[in-house]
Amino acid sequence: MRLETFWIILGMAGVTFVARFLPMALLSRWSIPERIRLGLEYVPVAILSAIVFPLLFFDQTGNFEIQPRCLLSALCAFAFAWKVKSVWGSVLVGMLIFWMLGFML
Amino acid sequence: MDEPAWREGVKAATPIVLGYLPVGLAFGVLARRAGLTTPEAGLMSLLVYAGSSQFIAVEMISKGALWFPIVVTTFLVNLRHLLMSSTLSLYLNKKSLRVLALLAAQLTDESFAVAMSNRSKLAHGFAYLFGLQVTSQVAWITGSVGGAFFGGLIDHEGYGLPFALPSLFICLLVLQIRSPVHFWMMITAGVSSLIFKATFSGNWYIVLATLLTLGIGVLIHRTGRKGTERIER
């Protein structure tokens, strides 16, 4: 096992455990303030967007680039997820379109 | 009475097992694609055990991110456990810290949802929850290790596999859009992450864009609630 990977896993485990354990350890003596509760509501949408957009607009070497193959596949996966709300379905649609566009573009 | 409660928990985990095995397999395959070894993928599922953050970490590792941005991003992704943990704590009064640590370490969205669907079971002790959670994690680790093992045999560039993770993130993102504000949060985070990525080197753009968007989100809630109502879909 590489040392860098080991530290990544250990660090991830540590911060995740803190988020899971802290409220339990304080045994409901501390209730989460409304402001923080509202903020937490938007964490997933913010993080996922911050991951997805750069994946679509930057190439493998980290240069900004309009990539029609990625954008079209992403739009199809997005539309399918919006209509059908199936995780496996969207992943398969995204992969399928990406695979087929590889032959066309 | 502990033995039957434990078994009831194991039985209640059945739908989770059916969900975790294939997702774990997918994680294993993608972890392998990102350059992790089978033991590394297994260790991550054992110690971290948080699906979405593991997929995100794998994506960041494949882009060559170092440990610090990955750990901070993981922390942000898993902050939502605070809410689940504080809800569960209401049912776990008078348990020792050691027992709580054990239960907390295996808390996931899915096991929380199943536990909350049958709250009367929680009142009788922690054996039910423990059985439910251990069974779920065993399924997750089994899937991950299996996927990582067989992932070594698959052509990593074929069959649209490079677009598996982006598709997964896109779908999870769509499932999060529950109001017009969520949609504008997506645009804010997305556009600012592009700007941050173009401006700063390294993988801090995810954390920076998230914090900026959260700040704006909290401000919107202070100034008024227009647009925050849920849309029916």
Question: Mind listing the pLDDT tens digit for each residue in B153-170?
Answer: 877 777 888 898 899 899
B189 and B132 both lie in a single domain = no
ipTM attached to this prediction: 0.90
pLDDT of residue B224: 56
Q: How far is B159 from chain A (nearest CA, A)?
A: 6
Within a domain: B62 = yes
| Cβ-based neighbours of B14, under 8 Å, separated by 6 or more | none
Write out chain B residues lying below 8 Å of A80, CB-based: 171
Within a domain: B204 = yes
Average pLDDT for residues A84-95, to the nearest whole number?
91
Cα B18–B24–A80 angle (5° rounding)? 80
Residue B104 has pLDDT above 50, yes or no: yes
Which of A9, A18, A28 comes nearest B89 by C-beta? A28
* CA-to-CA dists, residue A105 to A93, A97, B52, B140, angstroms: 18, 11, 31, 38
A70 and A104 both lie in a single domain = yes
Average pLDDT for residues B180-207, to the nearest whole number?
92
* Domain span including residue A56: 32-65
From the centroid of its chain, how far is CA A44? 8
Which of A1, A50, A58 comes nearest B206 by C-beta? A50
Are A21 and B100 inside 8 Å of each other by CB?
Answer: yes
B134 and B199 both lie in a single domain = no
Q: How far is B15 from chain A (nearest CA, A)?
A: 16
B60 and B23 both lie in a single domain = yes
Write out chain B residues lying below 8 Å of A85, CB-based: 174-175
Confidence class for position B231, pLDDT limits 50, 70, 90? low
Domain count for chain A, please give it: 3
Within a domain: B15 = yes
A79 and A52 both lie in a single domain = no
Are A56 and B166 inside 8 Å of each other by CB?
Answer: yes
B111 and B38 both lie in a single domain = yes
Within a domain: B12 = yes
Task: Give CA–CA dist B34/B129, Å, rounded.
Answer: 34
Q: How many Cβ pairs within 8 Å bridge chains A and B?
A: 282
Confidence class for position B228, pLDDT limits 50, 70, 90? low
From the centroid of its chain, how far is CA A73? 16
φ/ψ region of B28 (left if φ > 0, alpha if ψ in -120 to 50, else beta) reads alpha
Average pLDDT for residues A83-105, to the nearest whole number?
91
Average pLDDT for residues A56-85, to the nearest whole number?
92
Length of chain A: 105
Confidence class for position B121, pLDDT limits 50, 70, 90? confident
For the entire predicted model, the pTM comes to 0.83
3-class DSSP assignment, residue A64: strand
A55 and A44 both lie in a single domain = yes
Query: Can you read off the two tokens belonging to residue B207?
Result: 């954390």
Average pLDDT for residues A79-102, to the nearest whole number?
93
* Domain span including residue B212: 177-223
pLDDT of residue A29: 62
B51 and B89 both lie in a single domain = yes
Domain count for chain B, please give it: 2
pLDDT of residue B70: 96
Average pLDDT for residues A16-25, to the nearest whole number?
93
